[in-house]
A and B are shown apart, each in its own frame.
Chain A
Amino acid sequence: MSSALTSSAGETGVPPAVMAETAVNQARAAEPDASVWVSANAGTGKTYVLTRRVLRLLLAGTEPDRLLCLTYTNAAAAEMSRRVFDELAKWAVSPPDELAVALAALEGAPVGDDMLARAPTLFARAIEAPGGLKVQTIHAFCERLLQRFPLEAGVTPEFEIMDEDTQRQVLRQCIDQVLDSAAQPGDAPLHAALKTAVAFAADGQFDALLDAVLRRRDTLVDLLQSEGDENAEHDARLGGIDGGLRARLGVGANATQVGLTAQQADVLSPADARRAADVLAEGTKTDVARGAMIVAVSNEADAARQVVL
């Protein structure tokens, strides 16, 4: 098949057996009846597989406006549209015999007359699909969804997406507002929280910290809600987070830092550690430094062990 629709993996110096297996896998992944999860390295033909899938769906008679292809970047969306339209455009004007060959290659078997008749019209039908052939980024899709259902989503019709600059400005304003009330002396939890935070982060660091927290706010909210009763006191809910973290890290509820240090130290017996240090002391400059470190750690571990005992 002299088609421009080829996987970019085809040009690499990959052994034929691997190529053959890839081709089989790609064909399986493009099977329109199957739900498929494809994970592959960059440049190994994911877009190729997706394109083939779209083409086969269209060929099988799916209305173009019933397809939704989501990508993560605009560049990927544009590339995929381009490939789909490129191939469809070729079908639209190919002589029937060439078309039959191309379709058979795509489907893995000779195709019937219905497909042969449908294929040339798919280009224009995809182009004129109501709302366009939907190959778009997930962001664009979500934005459109919100525009379609503003009342349901609780957003203003004709809303606009904030650019990053405005986002930063608004975030800073919000932080300043919260700081304003947090700075009021008293026993409000917010004030206590600020006192804790300020020892670790202030000014720019604080903004960076909050930015990091906000990026994971869903996780944190989940943690707060799953580990503590929603109406529980602030501290109880924070305790919940502590419990969650311990469970996640596999650390007992009563474990302390000192205890954990001792536990870690027991991985090697003190004698083994000394022996290792001695061996390293004979070695290169780096080895000597590492040996010294082992000695230091063992000493600390000894101290810890004594505390535990």
Chain B
Amino acid sequence: MSDFSPNVCSVRAGDNFLQTLADALREGLLPGRDGARAALEPIPLAEWTVLLPTRRACRAFQDVLLRGSGSSAVLLPRIRPLSDVDDQSELLSGAVSESAMLGAYLGADLDAGPGEMRVPPPPAVPDLERRLVLMQFVMTWLESVDETGDVDRDPSMSAITRISPAQAAALANDLARLMDEIEIEGADLSRLAESMPPEFAQHWQRTLDFLDVATQAFPAYLSQTGRTTRAARATRLLRDEAGRISGGHVRRRILIAGIASLSAQTRPLIEAVARFENGVLVLPGLDRDLDDAAWDTLGASHPEHPQSGLCDVLRAVGITRTDVRELQTPRAEIARYDGQAARVRLLSEAMRPAATTGAWQGFAARSDRAEIDAALSGISLLDAPTAQDEADAVAIALREALETPGRSAALVTPDRTLARRVSARLAAWNIQIDDSAGRPLLKTVPGTFLDLILACFDDHFSPRTVAALLKHPLTRLGLSAGAVRRAAGALELLAFRQVYLGSGLDAIRASLMRASVSPVGDSTIVHRAVSRLSAEDREAASALLSQLEVATAPMREIEQVGAPVPLRALVRAHLEVAEALSRREDTGEAADGSAAQDLWRGEAGEAAADVLAELLEEESADLPIVAADYAAIFRALIGGQVVRPRRPMHPRLAILGPLEARLQTADLIVLAGLNDGKWPRLANPDPWINRPMRADVGLPAPEQRIGMAAHDFVQLAAAPRVILTRAERIDGTPTVPSRWLMRIEAVLRGVDRADALRADPAAGEAWLAWSEIAGRVGDHRPISAPRPRPPVALRPRRMSVTRVESWLANPYSVYARSILKLSPLDPLEAPPDASIRGRIIHEAVHRFTVQYPGALPDAAADKLVAIADEILIAYVAHPRVAAFWRPRLRRFAEWFAQTEGARRDGVAKMLTEVDGARTLSAPGGDFTLTARADRIDASDKGLVIYDYKSGTAPSVAQVTSGVSPQLPLEAAIAEVGGFDGLDAVPVQRLVYISAGGGTPAGEERWITKASPAELAARSLASLSALVAQYDDPATDYRAVRRGQFAGAYRYDDYAHLARVAEWSVAEGGDE
């Protein structure tokens, strides 16, 4: 062990860390021990090994070095990442696995100590295997809980044992994280049992049992297979290396830079390098403003303080702040901005440890206001009303930065949604900039494709999921892009845009077969879009479905087996399905499987291929699971995968997460999403161990992460130009500002600068106002109700009595339906609806009447039900038809059988579903009124005209007043002998029969207020007037909402087309 003091220096907050470090290395400016220069001549870069906290920082450092070397060739130092203890911990392990031993990795291969035999640590278990094995252990544990009968004693356990393998996968992920944290922090779970308070012993015993998976079962598995975890391997390698450095076996120069905290894992190496004669530690932004008394409280009692990690480092190395030298380079000195020192001082004051904030009073009393103003000169705060406003304003600020040539800008935020919004905003200005924090694999194009395949199985090939899969850009099924899209469109029209029953691919096939045959026997229901499809389109749709059946066969076969199969088999089937679905058309060129290229192309495609390949190779993928659980397991296993862009997409702009931003800088830094709970992120409650237990086993307080985030924040906030932003409301919910913002604002309030941080629109900081202008629409004039006036020649000369009702209620519907000939498509997967129910009832009563025209048969109700069942059978697969329609039909049938005798009394002739017409003369030529009467009974007293209503029948008042003229108009047709098979006979009565089957089950409503003849005359007169009115070219088919027709608008198919919502508000609804 050497006896000189550690060589530690710091780069000032606000200086460009990596640039300063590069300059110092290149120009030999790194301070040597005792203040002396390390060397008069710069040491060649290649002799250095530089360890930086993240991989990204390594890349950035390399770029800085290359940029600085101009055109001359240069040998770079070895630059390696030394991960921090955080989500990026795999970076370290990833780096370590690149070489078998860290010795070689550090470049100390030249000088292994004589006679020293170093046993390499065992290889690390791959991450995926670890999660799969843990998952199996978790499931075994759950089963054992079942067997011990714990469930009987404690009902709460039953829910746990019902956990699916997918949930077990999530539990395994949690356990893996905990195990890593324990390894990195050098904690010991076995201390847990001792620290357990006895009164809770029984309760915690279960947790302990569960944690045995981590403490016993998994380590046993590792030692059996002769391996270790990545984290444990890294610990071992770092410790070995630290030993070699301390033992004097390393001659290279080693620099650890940018480390702002310490873990049990990194501690030995950091200590060794600090004491190593050729070792240097360069810290980021050591705080020299905080008073010593406050500094001394850092560490364990204030883990949330930005400098606590650095304080730990200094203590570990055994020095104080005064022993740390400032790293100065000429470039850094030139680059410093006015007020940098003041800004750093202000930030330090604002972040002061909570227990010492009594000092703020004094700070407020004595601080120099001019200095405060200098500190605030380059930093401003923007409170946006909503998250969208925040994104818009940030995008504008970034865009503005580009106006100055050479200026760089970075958005740093932990909020990925915000990042996506900003990136979309910038894309609108043709600035392509990806979020460097990456996208979850499942949200990428190949990810959604793989996921949609699983979704199809999840919801049994429901139309909406199948339609989504067939329209996915990767879906080709051996066809050209155009052909597959066209066939998918035809399939959708034929099979999905109608009443849909059942599930699975068979249901799609059945629906396709049914496409042109209506079970009610009424083929006029087919939509024009369907009837227009060519024979080729229909064939293509059918062929596409066959292709889909073939392509999905591998997974369907496994699904049908039902029994558990090895995970591997499911992965393989998934892969086969994906490749079959994405197979391109056969062009005869490449027969080498290049067909699946598209799927595995690009960063996301390669990531997906990697993860699937890994799953296939995994021995532990023998885990038996049932097909139904596969989707959730797949999502749990690859859900955490993030696809990051390999290279920054824009030379001057960047969108970064706080981790990516560590040690980075830009001319303009935007720190966005500064709300409580978001930044810093609130520590999630740990499901296994609570706060005191963490301390007992040697894990750091959850607030340590907050301290590290705070350090990142302060370093970034010290940049020359900084914009801090937050949204006052997110999804309509008011937010609380980030704790750091509140601290800064509190301190500023004390020095009478309460609002000085706010962005000042007058000083060129009007980003919000600008984004508002960018999004502003000119004067908004709501449109008025449409009033189309088509030529009289195009207006209908023929109309059914039911259409007349909608003509009265809303002329626009006549225009849209009869003149434009538009009709709405059914929604995807439409359930059987009221109109079908109406048709079924009509059809059933019609058939019954035809079958039993005279006296009622015995058990008439049963016979009617039997007839109805013949029709219903097509729909009975739908649970609601079986549950509601049949019982209600039965109730109606009973009522009908009971009352039908009276209706038939004295009737000579009964006609059902009878067509009729009557021609009116009008200014524009003859106009034909048509009708299909549900039922007309003829007796010597005259005709009785019936109409069956499955819903609510119109009231007598509605009929009498002319709002519902259907029956009066039918009477008008009947009285001139307009119905087939009936002479001109006076109409005796008009009757509605409600056939709802509810309470009451049926009801007759006689229209008795006026005589049928009088009603007929009146309705005919009104209709003639209406026809005449519309024979005037000046009359428009306006869209209206009339109070007395309120009920008619509930099913207005053209409300959207007529933009009713827009003008009905403005006009106050009524005419």
Contact = CB atoms under 8 A, between A and B. Distances in A.
Interface of A: 74-75, 78-79, 81-82, 85, 89-90, 92-96, 117, 120-121, 123-125, 127-128, 130-132, 144, 147-158, 176-177, 179-180, 182-183, 194-195, 198-203, 206
B959 interface: no
Given A120-B360, A130-B691, A151-B210, A198 B887 contact: yes
Given A96-B361, A147-B685, A150-B687, A89 B749 contact: yes
Q: Report whether over half of chain B's contact residues are helix, strand or loop; otherwise say mixed.
A: helix
B747 interface: yes
B743 A182 contact: no
Nearest to A136: B677
A273 to B, nearest CB: 31
Contacts of A157: 170-171, 174, 687
16 contacts: A75-B733, A75-B734, A78-B736, A89-B746, A92-B361, A123-B357, A124-B353, A125-B354, A125-B357, A147-B687, A149-B687, A151-B160, A157-B174, A158-B170, A179-B884, A183-B883
B304 A128 contact: yes
A175 to B, nearest CB: 8
A93 B743 CA distance: 11
Which of B302, B353, B745, B880 has the most chain A CB atoms closer than 10 A to its own CB? Answer: B880
A96 B739 CA distance: 24
Given A124-B354, A153-B156, A132 B743 contact: no
Nearest to B161: A154
A93 B690 CA distance: 35
B148 to A, nearest CB: 15
Given A124-B743, A179-B883, A199 B999 contact: yes
B491 to A, nearest CB: 24
Contacts of B193: none
For the complex of A and B, the 10 pairs showing the least CB-CB separation, nearest first, are: A93-B750, A154-B159, A124-B354, A179-B883, A78-B734, A183-B882, A202-B884, A89-B746, A124-B357, A148-B685
Nearest to A75: B734
B707 to A, nearest CB: 10
Contacts of A92: 357, 360-361, 746, 750
Given A130-B703, A154-B157, A154-B159, 19 more contacts: A75-B733, A89-B749, A120-B357, A121-B355, A125-B354, A148-B686, A148-B687, A148-B690, A152-B156, A156-B163, A156-B167, A157-B174, A157-B687, A194-B883, A195-B887, A198-B998, A200-B998, A202-B998, A206-B884
A93 B879 contact: no
B882 A180 contact: yes
A194 B61 CA distance: 72
A206 B998 CA distance: 12
B851 interface: no
Contacts of A154: 156-160
Which of B163, B364, B887 has the most chain A CB atoms closer than 10 A to its own CB? Answer: B887
B587 interface: no
B831 to A, nearest CB: 9
Contacts of A182: 883
A90 B364 CA distance: 12
Contacts of A130: 691, 701-703
B62 interface: no
Contacts of A200: 998-999
A117 B358 CA distance: 7
A121 B886 CA distance: 73
A152 B203 contact: yes
Contacts of A180: 879, 882-883
A68 to B, nearest CB: 14
Given A156-B170, A199-B998, A120 B735 contact: no
A127 B739 contact: yes
B517 interface: no
B682 interface: yes
Interface of B: 156-160, 163, 167, 170-171, 174, 203, 206-207, 210, 302, 304, 352-358, 360-361, 364-365, 676-677, 682-687, 690-691, 701-703, 733-736, 739, 742-743, 745-747, 749-751, 834, 879-880, 882-888, 891, 997-999, 1001
Contacts of A201: 998
A177 B879 contact: yes
A263 B533 CA distance: 71
Contacts of A125: 354-355, 357
Contact of B747 (A79, A93, A177): A93
A120 B361 contact: yes
A147 B684 contact: yes
Nearest to A179: B883
Nearest to B359: A120
A241 to B, nearest CB: 21
B879 A132 contact: no
Given A89-B745, A179-B879, A151 B998 contact: no
B736 A82 contact: yes
A71 to B, nearest CB: 12
Nearest to A180: B879
A200 B887 CA distance: 12
B737 to A, nearest CB: 9
Contacts of A144: 685
Given A78-B733, A183-B883, A202-B884, A94 B361 contact: yes
Nearest to B887: A198
B750 A81 contact: no
A128 B682 CA distance: 11
Contacts of B206: 151
Contacts of A199: 891, 998-999, 1001
A86 B887 CA distance: 64
Given A128-B739, A156-B170, A179-B883, A93 B210 contact: no
A128 B743 CA distance: 10
B682 A132 contact: yes
A127 B998 contact: no
A121 B879 contact: no
A132 B676 contact: yes
Given A128-B304, A152-B156, A198 B361 contact: no
Contacts of B356: 121
Nearest to B304: A128
Contacts of A153: 156, 159
A89 B742 contact: yes
B3 to A, nearest CB: 40
A246 B395 CA distance: 66
A121 B156 contact: no
A64 to B, nearest CB: 9
Contact of A202 (B304, B687, B739, B888): B888
B365 A95 contact: yes
A247 B177 CA distance: 57
Which of B304, B687, B733 has the most chain A CB atoms closer than 10 A to its own CB? Answer: B687
Contacts of A124: 352-354, 357, 743
A131 B174 CA distance: 20
B734 A151 contact: no
A132 B210 CA distance: 29
Contacts of A156: 163, 167, 170-171
Contacts of B302: 128
Contacts of A206: 884
A127 B734 contact: no
A153 B302 CA distance: 33
A41 to B, nearest CB: 22
Contacts of B999: 199-200
B880 A123 contact: no
Nearest to A149: B687
B706 to A, nearest CB: 8
Contacts of A147: 684-685, 687
B675 to A, nearest CB: 10
A180 B354 CA distance: 62
Contacts of B687: 147-151, 157
Contacts of B884: 179, 198, 202-203, 206
Contacts of B210: 151
A158 B883 contact: no
B236 to A, nearest CB: 30
